[in-house]
Structure 1
Amino acid sequence: MTATAADADTSDFRAPFVGFLPGYLAESQRTAPGRPNEDIYNAMVAERWTALLNSTASSDEALVHTFLERHPSLLPGCLTVDGDSGHSPFPMAVISKPKLPGLSDREPDFMWIACHSSEVFPVLIEIETPHKKWFYGDRAEIHSDLTHAQGQLAEWRAWFNRGYNREAFIDQYELGPFMGGRKLSPRYVLVYGRSSNYAGFPRRQQKRAELERQDERLMSFDRLSTAKRSVLYSCVRKTQDGYKVISVPPCLTILNSGDRYAAATGWDLALDQCPDMADLRREYLKEQLSLLIECPDAYVETHASGMRTLRPAWL
């Protein structure tokens, strides 16, 4: 491929912005200020994601990272990697480039804080590129790039296995009330290469099946697809001042319970920076988020008997 062709290939995914979904704005405007059709969004994301993976542009890890920030529904683990949970992750978002206190080496690319009734699962995700190889040439010998990437997961595991670090983690990510006596159970995910590097090769598939440790999930980029209830989740960064929203998906849908959103700031700016979202929808979400953060019980009904109930709804 010539340099000119490669540049054109890359520009397709950078312009007009990373994560752009051609045609989605019209669909958003059609239903605004109501919720856009989730199935249409998922189909458009899947098509655009596949096109990115199949392009030379996907060799740029920063580009892939930004795409996933804008469409966090593609990232595994929001409902745990041990099976779908009925609980939402904290804080209704994936965390981009989370720091582990005292660990100066490379941080994870992303982290979900997922949970179920008895455990909280920090799901630490390492993103490589779809161009990395699992095996060398025609052999079933594990590629050194894969070994190096797994070593990163091992470093995070070692960090969590030092008991005092778990308390530091809970403090860093403001999880005290969220823990509620539950056990902290980290999980480690590596997203690496394409399945074509081992699919159809029995020896490679057998060896690949043995690579995963009990608390690890190794997957190719081909495995990433939109998750259930994923339209509810945004992307945040954890700073010294708390959680800051850095991007929202164009299909963002919110719940009518304000305590889920007060943990993060920056909603208005993130909404303004989501060009695939219709203006009417954007303004509606700003109004609703402001209401729910100021008055978390805005949609709670008080009955004559004094009983208070909340009928869950997606806004």
Structure 2
Amino acid sequence: MDTFRHAETDTSPERPQATPWETYRASVLPQWQSLLDSSPSERQMQEFLELHPCFLPGATDNIGPGGHHGPSFSAVIRQPPLKGLGPTRVPDFMWVRLDTGAIRPICIEIESPRKSWFNKGSRTPTAELTQAVDQLTEWKVWFSSPENQLIFAKTYAPDYTYRPVEPQFVLVYGRDSEFRATTSSHDNPAYMRQKRDHMPRSREYYFTYDQLTAEREAGNYATVTCEVDKWRLDSLPPTFTTGSTMMDLAEIIADPSAVLSRTELMSEERRAYIVDRWKYWRQVALSKHEYFIAVGRE
């Protein structure tokens, strides 16, 4: 018996369309700048980035070797527990990028934009920066265990457990104003910027919040949380489009309706359309049959 079936994409121009990237970007960039200018807390930054993961480093191939297949579940994972040998570690965010050679987790630590990198006058890192960098070291130690790598792969990339795990580590901290001549409290801000740029160690990447921007390539990515016995969907962008690329997300999330009801810049017709197509692609993902995927998006 032929077990192959055809999965049909919806290419009808009459279907409710996703919000254009330019519309979303024009809305979210002023919100981002306004938030930064309000001297926000780390909690406020966490909440914003959960809603708009396209700002997070690693959403595209800008961290490490990259991943041609995109992130696991087409989503960033919010506060993912790294459980295994030793204490459980919990990054603020994590992408799990995939390519033909490896599983590449990108663990992200965010700190408050209010925090300074260096002590005034002494040119030494602040205690807060030292503590943040130590967090990355703790993650490196965790990933150095082969047992932990296997547990990680089974949890976050179950279809690719045969591939090596090659993590990258990101710190988002402070503002660029600390390193500008007109706003810095340092005697030689250009030198301090140079020192900052030389601080990252192997597989580490440091950013100020001013270096982050909305990436078009990440306009289709969700935010999810790995709970004790299930996954939870936290956000979907208004630019989200359905199709075969969302099957791994639809496989772990049964119904996006509650999240869609909170998504701004999305019409009711578009919300209903996504729910309908979600059911279809979830059925394909969970089916025991092999599918030919027709060319097209939704």
5+ residue gaps, structure 2: 1-13, 182-188
Alignment partner of 1:183 is 2:172: no
Partners of 1:242 and 1:82 in 2: CA distance: 29
2:206 maps to 218
* Cα offsets for 1:86-118 (capped at 9, x unmatched): 322101110001001045465111100012221
Contact 1:261/1:289 (CA < 8 Å) preserved in 2? no
Alignment partner of 1:97 is 2:97: no
Cα offset, 1:287, TM superposition: 0.6
Structure 1 pair 163/178, CA: closer, same or farther in 2 (3 Å)?
A: closer
Alignment partner of 1:278 is 2:267: yes
Structure-1-length-normalised TM-score? 0.79
Partners of 1:149 and 1:272 in 2: CA distance: 36
1:229 maps to 217
1:4 maps to none
Matched length: 273
Partners of 2:192 and 2:170 in 1: CA distance: 20
Percent identical residues:
30
Partners of 1:97 and 1:160 in 2: CA distance: 16
Partners of 2:277 and 2:65 in 1: CA distance: 32
Cα offset, 1:254, TM superposition: 2.4
Structure-2-length-normalised TM-score? 0.84
1:145 to 128, 151, 159: 128
1:310 maps to 294
1:64 maps to 45
Matches within 5 A, 1:14-29: none
Structure 1 pair 137/65, CA: closer, same or farther in 2 (3 Å)?
A: same
What residue identity is the alignment partner of 2:33? T
Structure 1 pair 106/131, CA: closer, same or farther in 2 (3 Å)?
A: farther
1:121 to 89, 93, 104: 104
Contact 2:67/2:104 (CA < 8 Å) preserved in 1? no
Contact 2:81/2:88 (CA < 8 Å) preserved in 1? no
Partners of 2:249 and 2:128 in 1: CA distance: 39
* Cα offsets for 1:56-101 (capped at 9, x unmatched): 3x1x222211111111111111234125543221011100010010
SS in 2 for 1:155: helix
Cα offset, 1:120, TM superposition: 1.4
5+ residue gaps, structure 1: 1-30, 303-307
1:135 to 118, 123, 140: 118
SS in 2 for 1:48: helix
